[in-house]
Amino acid sequence: MSLGKPAEEGQPGSMQAGDPGPRRAPAMGGEAVIGTGASSAEHDAPGRAYRRRTLLRAAAAASAGGAGMWIAAAPGVSLAASAVPSAAHHPVTITMNGIFGTGQAGLNTLVALTQQAFEPFMRANRDIRVQITPQSGVPAIIAGTASDIIWDWNFYPYWSGKLLLPLDSYLQRDNVDTSIWVQGQMELFQRPWGTYMLGAYASPFVYAIMLDLLDELGLTYPSPEWTSDDFVRLAAALTTVPKNGKKRYGAAIPWYTTGIGTSSQSTFLLNAFGGALTNPGGTRSWLDHPGAVAAGDWVYHELLWRGIAVPWDVYSANSGQGLPLGNLAMDFEWGTAPFRLTQQLQGRKWAFQPFPVFPSGRYTFMTNDFWGIVRDTKYPEQAWRVLKWATTTPSFQVTRMHFSALQPTLKSLWPQWQAIVESVAPSLKGKGLHWFVDAAVGGYARCMEPYANNGSLVSNAVSQDLTPLWTHPGSSVRQAFQQAARQANVILSEGASGRVVPLYGAGTAAFAPQPPSLKARASAWKTTLIQAASRSDIIGGTPAQWSGPATASLAVALMWDAQALYLNAEITQGHPYTQTHHGTNIWKGDMLWCYFDTEPALQIGNTGKVGLAKTSSGMELWNTINNTFPTVPMEFQTLPHGWRIAATLPWSMVGQFKPAKGAQLQFNAGIGWAPDGSTNLTGFFDLNGQNPDGVGTGVVVTLG
């Protein structure tokens, strides 16, 4: 399966700057583009379904969440469930996440329109019924409630947990030429261990530049061939403090205060300077490569430490508010940014610009949203037929462009995307939309570089090593990158052996031949106590104010059997136990938080989270995963300098887990804490000083 096939006829290989491409979006491949849904004649009349005024109103109300989709339907469009004639026998139903995200406005409308777009498939394949559903992720797969075809962007849990079907045999059997799709995504999806995903939508990053600010300062517009040095000079010239007194930064950059970030959209910058995040197989970190260090030097020495650019998690640059609020002069954009900006920047002079040419060429990022077939689907062959149709059929992607403006994964359709967008919003003509097209089909838009295993855990560890470069300007970039590479390689090596890496502590839960007494002290249980280390950095946010174990300390005993996990925790703190609240407000007083991750390989975070407290009504346990208050055996005891709480936790409360000797889970426990020993609990104290709601941050507990 070659990725290097020349562009097909009609692709924008020779497209000139500003060329809008075809003015209509005709049906392709003998299949109709879905229109109003009113009649087959209208279905066969492309371009009639979605009116410009309607789409502009929808674009104005678009949500920036999820994939950044906007929704529109022309008058007369039926949003009822599609009615496809039944087959002679009962068709197989394939459920599919047709969209990503669950919070954007108009979700039900978007689901209905996507459902409608599958009518041609169902008419031609009467043995299959496609049912579009909202997003269902890894937890749904674990619970057995996921759709047959899932849409997501974070690929690590799916690889680590082997949750998706490999697609290689289907691709080879059906002779699917993978060069029809945008190269940047297929480089990510086709891994040495197989192809498990195909693109759901593909959007590259480009820059939006406020040209009126350049006019105001008498600056020359950058050419399309501007370099990384030109970028630095322009960012410096545009950084100023306007009359309102609020600093305007020259640019936002796709970098994080934590370095390359836990989701690694920034890794293309390593490529841009001749480096890479990992070796080709993803088994070794290459952050210590000279090219990677050179990228870090450019980011920190030339931009961030000079105060002329900001990472995208500062000022929420990626929320799309930097330009209209005047915080930024140049912001990177993707997705439905053209529609948002044409509304937000009315009356302003602005345009899109490609990412600069770096020392190793032009590079930018491309979204890695994918579809994959869930491993446990009952109908793999039918699911493949649906996925193949959605990803290879031009008319489906053209239809979707009309009602959601989602960028296509088929390279040949990018000129039509530009034509559709400009027909809906004529004010975008001449704004440089062709740079989205150029990045997508030109091969220089890259997805994240993946680690072969423990990807989220590696990313978290790398972020911890690189964060000091933001908090302590002038630190050694080379040393930070080298330390991050060493840490990453330890985790990758451990992950290759199938072990859970105990980065933040390890402990043991002894087997209980019979349930231990909840009335006994933790030290009386026949197991090893898991204790908070006696060092200042275990207090999140206020390390200097912790004066020792008498200020706050924590010890936990764990035991287990086939039915339950038994927990016994002793807390020392600077004030008597105080709890005057009930129910979901118990967090306002003294209580014990417990966090469990029984699926550490999936790197999805907590599978169980409970709060335990003694209130005036008795013992209370708050299961925050499903917001319930189940009754379980619990005991409470006041101690001379603190208190003790113990409980029997059924495994169902901890996570989907089959307890057995040698099995591992991640665990953390913590309490609210006050530096002055008062009941004003402004801090948090846990077993290892890590964010207990993070991924891979718990103590690794092995069942003994």
Q: What is the mean pLDDT of residues 413-419?
A: 96
Q: pLDDT digits over 492-538, tens only?
A: 887 777 666 677 788 999 999 999 999 999 999 999 888 875 544 45
Strands 361-362 and 357-358, how do they pair? antiparallel
Q: From residue 233, give the alpha-carbon distance in Å to each of 217, 229, 429.
A: 13, 6, 28
pLDDT of residue 135: 67
Q: What is the mean pLDDT of residues 627-634?
A: 95
Residue 468 has pLDDT above 70, yes or no: yes
Q: What is the mean pLDDT of residues 30-43?
A: 28
Q: What is the dihedral of CA 296, 298, 302, 307, to 10 degrees?
A: -40
pLDDT of residue 62: 37
pLDDT, the chain, mean: 81
DSSP-derived 3-state class of residue 615: strand
Comparing 192 with 566, which gets the higher pLDDT?
566
pLDDT of residue 53: 41
Residue 590 has pLDDT above 70, yes or no: yes
Residue 316 has pLDDT above 70, yes or no: no
pLDDT of residue 355: 97
pLDDT band (50, 70, 90) for residue 635:
very high
pLDDT band (50, 70, 90) for residue 434:
very high
Alpha helix (H) residue ranges in 118-192: 119-124, 138-143, 156-160, 168-173, 183-189
Of 50-59, 242-251, 292-301, where does the model show the most confidence? 292-301
Which residues partner with 686 through β-bridges?
670
How buried is residue 502: exposed, middle or buried, by Cβ count under 10 Å (0-12/13-18/19+)? middle
Comparing 568 with 247, which gets the higher pLDDT?
568
pLDDT band (50, 70, 90) for residue 28:
very low
pLDDT of residue 216: 94
Q: pLDDT digits over 241-259, tens only?
A: 866 677 899 999 999 898 8
Residue-by-residue DSSP string for 388-427: HHHHH-HHHHHHHHHHH-PPPSBGGGHHHHHHHHHHH-GG
Q: Is the Cα dihedral 405, 407, 413, 416 positive or negative?
A: positive
Q: Please answer whether residues 56 and 340 qualify as being in contact, where contact means their C-beta atoms are separated by less than 8 angstroms.
A: no
Q: Please answer whether residues 171 and 178 qualify as being in contact, where contact means their C-beta atoms are separated by less than 8 angstroms.
A: yes
pLDDT of residue 42: 26
pLDDT band (50, 70, 90) for residue 99:
low
Comparing 509 with 490, which gets the higher pLDDT?
509
pLDDT of residue 47: 33
Residue 386 has pLDDT above 60, yes or no: yes
Residue 123 has pLDDT above 50, yes or no: yes
Q: How far apart are CA 179 and CA 468, in angstroms?
A: 42
Residue 72 has pLDDT above 80, yes or no: no
Strand ranges in 220-337 using DSSP code E only, listed in sequence order: 251-253, 309-311, 330-333
Contacts of 403 (CB under 8 A, 6+ apart): 49, 50, 71, 72, 73, 110, 113, 117
pLDDT of residue 20: 27
In the chain, the amino acid numbered 662 is: G
pLDDT of residue 542: 46
pLDDT band (50, 70, 90) for residue 112:
confident
Assigned token pair, 23: 């003015």
Comparing 156 with 298, which gets the higher pLDDT?
298
pLDDT of residue 4: 28
Residue 321 has pLDDT above 50, yes or no: yes
Assigned token pair, 102: 């669950």
Q: pLDDT digits over 326-364, tens only?
A: 889 999 998 888 988 999 999 999 999 999 999 999 999
Q: What is the mean pLDDT of residues 265-294?
A: 92
